[in-house]
Amino acid sequence: MKKKIIFGLTLAFVPLALCSCDKDKDSEIIKNVSFTYNEDDMTASISGVSSQENVTKIIIPSEIKKNKKTYKVTEIADKAFKNDKYLVSIELPDTITRVGSEAFARCTLLHSINLSSATTISSYAFDGDVRLVNVNLSDSLTYLGKGAFRSCTSLVGLELPEGVTELRGETFSGDTSLKYITASSLQTISNKDFYNCKALANVYFSQSQTEQTVENDNDYYTKATKAYESNLSKDDSNYYFVYDISTLTATVSGFVKDEIKLDNLPITTNYMGKEFAVEGIYDYSFLGSLIESIELPDTYNRIGQYAFSKSNIKNVEISHVATISQYAFSECEKLESVKLDEDVATVGTYLFNECTNLSKVSLGGKINQVSSCMFKGCKNLTDLYLNTNVSKLNNEAFSNCDKLNNIYYQSDEESWDKLLLNSDTNVKAYLVDTLKVNVTYNASEDLIK
């Protein structure tokens, strides 16, 4: 049964695939990326990634040269990257006009997609992309296929451009984290477009009055607060954000285009004519990125899980972030030194897991526990400073840290003995009996250089 609703409210390490071409085939694999060529209109379609290498980041050019001919890259073919378990991000040219059916379906690590020129997104294009947070849709988009973003359980918000007037069923079905959408001209909502969108709270329109047809199983959409905003724009920035409408706060959730340095981060950003205070880094934001260095504003208080995992970062020095979540810097193979100080209080498990080049660590500030598996697999870790607040070393905190030789402890020997007594027995045995680490008492943090 269809219901008509009229709203009249008012409100204010990573493997990297780069593409080039030198072979003459109708369909071919070029440096792990497969293309199909159309001689009639001299265009190329992206067909997928070969199985020869686990590629996490792909950069696609706008043109491909082959046999002295130039082909314009305009399409991502049906099922091109379907079931790719390694792809984290893909940088697309502004020549892409179509995303095929199931093109990125069940890419379970895909975090960001910038579709700045796509006019068509076909059915189930991003179905089951459980890590997808950042989606930038083209102002020219007019067709959004059935189930396009179904079961994208990490998607928090989305801006639908003016050209999208119809949802064709199951579009956001199962998007349990979806809190808000902006829908400039949306007129038709089909069966199960917002099914099980339990978190949906706000829907914003740019027109003062609009009539909508809403089909069955869209109760969460029907109950969401509808409002009209004359300005649905947001800051032009190289960063993605996740917005919390209720608190007017935001967190950085990734790059639009990858950079080497993460500095000059914003402390505020504007969206829908309102200013949002930026408070931290969202989950998975820079997983697998090219970042070599970071400098966070003093106002940032949280770094999400896997935020910088597998990036190229070389040194970490953080003083004002209160919470750093699990795996945030795991598998950063170029990371050499870490200094956590002042306001840092809570650190997640596996925080620096498998940072194989890490050698020196200083845990100051308010940190009171070394979390489970925090340094597991840091095989070149040699020197560690612990502040006097640390009261427990948790399970496998230093597993496979066979070169750990020196621990500089801020307090005295008696406090050290109490710390060991309160810690997991396997950690105590590993440090005392196996490694026989040298402990310097009443030590200064300056000893870590």
Here the CATH number for the domain that contains residue 289 is 3.80.10.10
Asked whether residue 241 is domain-assigned, the answer is no
Q: Where are the beta strands (DSSP E) in 208-313?
A: 210-214, 225-228, 239-244, 249-255, 261-262, 268-271, 274-281, 293-294, 302-303
Check residues 55 and 376 and name the one with the higher pLDDT.
376
Whether residues 61 and 169 fall in one domain: yes
pLDDT at 370 over 80: yes
Most trustworthy range by pLDDT among 17-21, 32-36, 272-276, 305-309? 305-309
Residue 192 near residue 170 (C-beta atoms within 8 A): yes
Whether residues 38 and 153 fall in one domain: yes
228, 260, 283 — which closes off a domain?
A: 228
Distance in angstroms (rounded) separating the CA atoms of residues 386 and 370:
9
Asked whether residue 238 is domain-assigned, the answer is no
Asked whether residue 430 is domain-assigned, the answer is yes
Residue 364 near residue 343 (C-beta atoms within 8 A): no
Q: Could you report the per-residue pLDDT of 336-352, keeping only the tens digit for each?
A: 999 999 899 999 999 99
Is the Cα torsion angle 383, 385, 391, 395 positive or negative in sign?
A: negative
Mean pLDDT of the chain: 90
Asked whether residue 240 is domain-assigned, the answer is no
User: Among candidates 212, 111, 202, which has minimal Cα distance to 165?
Assistant: 212
194, 228, 262 — which closes off a domain?
A: 228
Residue 329 near residue 351 (C-beta atoms within 8 A): yes
Q: Lowest-pLDDT range, 253-257, 368-372, 406-410?
A: 253-257
Whether residues 132 and 267 fall in one domain: no
Is the Cα torsion angle 291, 292, 296, 302 positive or negative in sign?
A: positive
Mean pLDDT (whole number) for 361-386: 96
Residue 282 near residue 308 (C-beta atoms within 8 A): no
The DSSP code for 447 is G
SS3 389: coil
Could you tell me the pLDDT band of residue 4, with boundaries at 50, 70 and 90?
Answer: very low
Domain containing residue 349: 248-447
Whether residues 165 and 300 fall in one domain: no
Q: Name the domain count of the chain.
A: 2
Distance in angstroms (rounded) separating the CA atoms of residues 157 and 203:
10
Asked whether residue 408 is domain-assigned, the answer is yes
Whether residues 157 and 298 fall in one domain: no
Q: Is 211 exposed, middle or buried (0-12, 13-18, 19+ CB in 10 A)?
A: exposed
Whether residues 31 and 128 fall in one domain: yes
Asked whether residue 237 is domain-assigned, the answer is no
Asked whether residue 37 is domain-assigned, the answer is yes
Distance in angstroms (rounded) separating the CA atoms of residues 92 and 50:
18
Please tell me the predicted confidence (pLDDT) of residue 410.
Answer: 95
177, 194, 228 — which closes off a domain?
A: 228
Find the largest Cα–Cα distance for the chain.
81
Q: Could you report the per-residue pLDDT of 157-171, keeping only the tens digit for each?
A: 999 998 999 999 999
Whether residues 37 and 168 fall in one domain: yes
Mean pLDDT (whole number) for 28-35: 69
Whether residues 275 and 402 fall in one domain: yes
Could you tell me the pLDDT band of residue 278, with boundaries at 50, 70 and 90?
Answer: very high
Whether residues 31 and 162 fall in one domain: yes
Q: Could you report the per-residue pLDDT of 170-183, keeping only the tens digit for each?
A: 999 999 999 999 98
SS3 338: strand
Could you tell me the pLDDT band of residue 51, with boundaries at 50, 70 and 90?
Answer: low
Most trustworthy range by pLDDT among 83-87, 93-97, 261-265? 93-97
Which residue in the block uniquely carries the two structure tokens 């896997």? 306
In the chain, the percentage of residues whose pLDDT exceeds 90 is 77
Could you tell me the pLDDT band of residue 59, with boundaries at 50, 70 and 90?
Answer: confident
Whether residues 438 and 297 fall in one domain: yes
Dump the DSSP string for 46-103: EEEE-SSS---EEE--SEEEETTEEEEEEEE-TTTTTT-SS--EEE--TT--EE-TTT
Could you tell me the pLDDT band of residue 208, with boundaries at 50, 70 and 90?
Answer: low
Asked whether residue 243 is domain-assigned, the answer is no
Please tell me the predicted confidence (pLDDT) of residue 235.
Answer: 82
